[in-house]
Structure 1
Amino acid sequence: MFAVCAVTLLCCMSASHSAPLACEDSVRPLDQLDPHRLEGRWALVGGSLSDPAQFEFFKRRDSSSINFSSTSATSNISYTPSVNMDGKCHFRSYNVSLEGSVLTFDVLDQINVTLTFLHTSCQDCTLIRFDNESKKPVRLLLFSRRREVDQKEMEEFNAQVECLNMPPPAVMDPTKVLCLEETTSDPAAQTEEKTDRQKA
């Protein structure tokens, strides 16, 4: 009887430890990211936000994408999120530096989040975690070269969202048109950026 109880206890302990370890592996940062892999446009597939009000605002967008372009032979990069909402396209460009798997913004006084690239099994995707000043995740966004991913890839994303204790993600409608590349500065983008913080 004692042996049975001992085995049962060990099994329970093993189960209790396996979930956190699985989550730790699931949302681990990339060791290194090649800046050239980032170049070009990535369509937002889905995302989750920890703040309920911002999440509701996030869900109003029709589509969204980010564009990366190298500004030199180093890891200096131009980062341009775009959002199609209420029939208008909003842009905001930043100069950023890639250090390992973390994007550092050049204008630190205007940005109070850190962007970290996480592992994903999706080969043509990029997964970005947005952390606030307290190093707590406030957004988890999945981007892809495609407009939508397959069921297995979405299930992985859902599990990663759950690991970060964030609400179930909103999934973008792949039939909605993405904004074309920005040609001029859009003042409306700056206004919306202040409202919704980090657009992407």
Structure 2
Amino acid sequence: MKSLSKAVMSAVAAAVLLLCFVSVSCSVPLACENLLWPLGQPDLHGLEGRRAMIAGSLSHLPLMEPLRRRDSATAEFSSNSGESGISFRRSSRSGDNCHYASYNVTLKGNSFTFKNDNVTTTFVHTSCHDCILLKFDVESEQRQHFYLFSKRRQLEEMEIEEFRAQAQCLNLPPPVVMDPTKDLCPEQHSTNPAAQTENKAETKND
């Protein structure tokens, strides 16, 4: 009887273990699907404003080191015409040097394109209330850039952990988290063509 009892217990344990493995294997894709839920077309009023980069990751590993050396970066949206026309401004600071870029883009659902349509930018869901999460797909070099921006300089750890999990779901390296004590570039609102063209190093990095 004891041997039969042991055999039954072993069978039950094996069944439970198998059920756990099946449960985990089924839940991981579902979790990533939920984490990478794309937004619908963003509300322009909620989108407007300047936000600092909180963290970022890139699929092209050689570009991770320049990202780590960056002091700060910003993204800013403002409406310019109609319900879908917006201005998209970016800045990046390394030491005392600031680089700016400005683009007029048109929202198409949850995305827009720029740089001669070589870059498609998608808004991804985030639970952070004052954040925007952007996924840049660079078609010409087949790489992804994934950046989290917020109106706060520092987020709660659970908000950072969500971004880390999202980057992992995209098979990206562990994100670089920006130093919130570093200065941002001064705001620059200009339609000067010089302000609309990033320098070569910046273009390669973003």
- Where does residue 21 of structure 1 map in the other structure? 30
Question: Following TM superposition, by how much is the alpha carbon of 1:35 offset from its aligned partner in structure 2, in angstroms?
Answer: 1.7
Letter in 1 for 2:112: L
1:191 aligns with 2:200: yes
Aligned match of 1:47 in 52, 56, 72?
Answer: 56
Taking a change above 3 Å as real, the CA distance of residues 90 and 122 of structure 1, as seen in their structure-2 partners, is same
- Per-residue CA shift, 1:60-106, capped at 9, x if unaligned? 1111001111111221111111001131110011111112211233x
Q: C-alpha separation between the residues in 2 aligned to 1:18 and 1:129? A: 24
- Which one is further off, 181-190 or 42-51? 181-190
- Where does residue 144 of structure 1 map in the other structure? 150
Q: C-alpha separation between the residues in 1 aligned to 2:63 and 2:77? A: 24
What secondary structure sits across from 2:132 in the alignment? strand
Q: C-alpha separation between the residues in 2 aligned to 1:127 and 1:69? A: 16
- Which one is further off, 131-140 or 161-170? 131-140
- Where does residue 120 of structure 1 map in the other structure? 126
TM-score for the superposition, normalised by structure 2: 0.85
TM-score for the superposition, normalised by structure 1: 0.87
- Where does residue 12 of structure 1 map in the other structure? 21
Q: C-alpha separation between the residues in 2 aligned to 1:79 and 1:177? A: 21
Aligned match of 1:33 in 35, 42, 51?
Answer: 42
- Where does residue 153 of structure 1 map in the other structure? 159
Aligned match of 1:175 in 173, 178, 181?
Answer: 181
1:56 aligns with 2:65: yes
Question: Following TM superposition, by how much is the alpha carbon of 1:113 offset from its aligned partner in structure 2, in angstroms?
Answer: 2.2
Which blocks of at least 5 consecutive residues in structure 1 are unaligned? none
Letter in 2 for 1:149: L
Aligned length: 194
Question: Following TM superposition, by how much is the alpha carbon of 1:189 offset from its aligned partner in structure 2, in angstroms?
Answer: 3.2
Taking a change above 3 Å as real, the CA distance of residues 23 and 138 of structure 1, as seen in their structure-2 partners, is same
- Which one is further off, 83-92 or 178-187? 178-187
Which blocks of at least 5 consecutive residues in structure 2 are unaligned? 1-7
CA contact (8 A) 2:101 2:197 kept: no
Question: Following TM superposition, by how much is the alpha carbon of 1:193 offset from its aligned partner in structure 2, in angstroms?
Answer: 3.4
Q: C-alpha separation between the residues in 1 aligned to 2:196 and 2:80? A: 23
- Give the fraction of aligned pairs with identical amino acids, expressed as a percent: 49
